[in-house]
Amino acid sequence: MPITQCDSKKCDYQWLWEDAFYEHGFQSGEGQIETYRVECVLTDSGYNVETDQFGTNNIVITSIKKDRRELLPVHYAGFNFGEDDPRDYLPGEIIQLLDKELPEKETLS
């Protein structure tokens, strides 16, 4: 999982990119939120990304577009946005990108 230095700079903070899509990710938004790091990976790869506060909880990615086409299918029937595993609905190219850039097994350099 990606490792980031804690805001307090006294520890390493381990997290998963999937947290950026969960209502209760990053400890329901009470932990160190890394949604913007996921957003940066996507925007650096040419995607247009929107984020929003999910109620009083986590900041989540609410839209991913490329060439004006929405790629976050949770806007359509059949998905429970904020609850379902993003690996079940994100396009394979996005999953591969995020797995590559924010691998589950990462070391802090």
Euclidean distance between the first and the last CA atom of the chain, given in angstroms as a whole number? 14
Enumerate the domain spans of the chain: 1-6+33-109
Per-residue pLDDT reduced to its tens digit, 32-91:
899 999 999 999 999 999 999 988 889 999 999 999 999 987 666 678 888 999 998 999
The pTM assigned to this predicted structure is 0.83
Rounded Cα gap, residues 13 and 15, in angstroms: 7
Q: Is the pLDDT of residue 105 over 70?
A: no
Scan for tokens 């086409």, then name that residue. Answer: 69
Q: Residue 1 — pLDDT band, cuts 50, 70, 90?
A: very low
User: What's residue 75's pLDDT?
Assistant: 60
- Cα atoms found within 13 Å of the Cα of residue 65, Cβ hemisphere only: 10
Task: Supply the CATH classification number for the domain 1-6+33-109.
Answer: 3.30.70
